[in-house]
Amino acid sequence: MQGTKHIAVPTLSSRAEPRVSPVDGHFLCGRFDLGTEAGSIRVRHLRRNPSISISHFIGDDVAITVHGRAALLEKGHPEADELAALYERVYGSNPYTWGTDVVLVRVDPESIITYAPDPSKFPAKAAD
């Protein structure tokens, strides 16, 4: 699971309506992380309600869903430098240079649900 993964990230609007958006995510040390602009609707939702879910799947072979709480890591946060270094290795640039107000979001899992009808396929598929 290490590396960049395409994930769907739903958050809740002020009227508790779900809003889903696709984004690159990273699975590191048992948690998903993602980057976004501080002014995005996603961050506005998470500031009000840090409940978050992440879903990643590869066809019918593997699905991983995480439910948890979002921690917003703005530049200067004690954990931001380590996560920014990961992004720099993957993308070739520091995420805090991508915009005027970038926030990295760490998802602290409360539950992780997995599905793999043939687990022997998972390692080979996850590397794709």
CB 19 within 8 A of CB 12: yes
Q: Read off the pTM.
A: 0.81
Mind listing the pLDDT tens digit for each residue in 37-84?
888 999 999 999 999 999 999 888 889 999 999 999 988 888 888 888
Q: How far apart are CA 101 and CA 62, in angstroms?
A: 34
Where is average pLDDT lowest: 9-13, 36-40, 82-86?
82-86
Residue 123: enclosing H or E segment and its boundaries? helix 122-126
Phi, psi for 49 (deg, rounded to 5): -145, 105
Residue 55: enclosing H or E segment and its boundaries? strand 51-58
Planar angle of CA 15, 20, 26, nearest 5 degrees: 130
**% of the chain residues with pLDDT over 90:** 34
What domains can you pick out in the chain, each with its CATH number? 3-120 (2.30.110.10)
Token reading at 74: 């703005």
Q: How far apart are CA 61 and CA 47, in angstroms?
A: 34
CB 106 within 8 A of CB 70: yes
Token reading at 57: 């799947």
Residue 128: is its pLDDT beyond 70? no
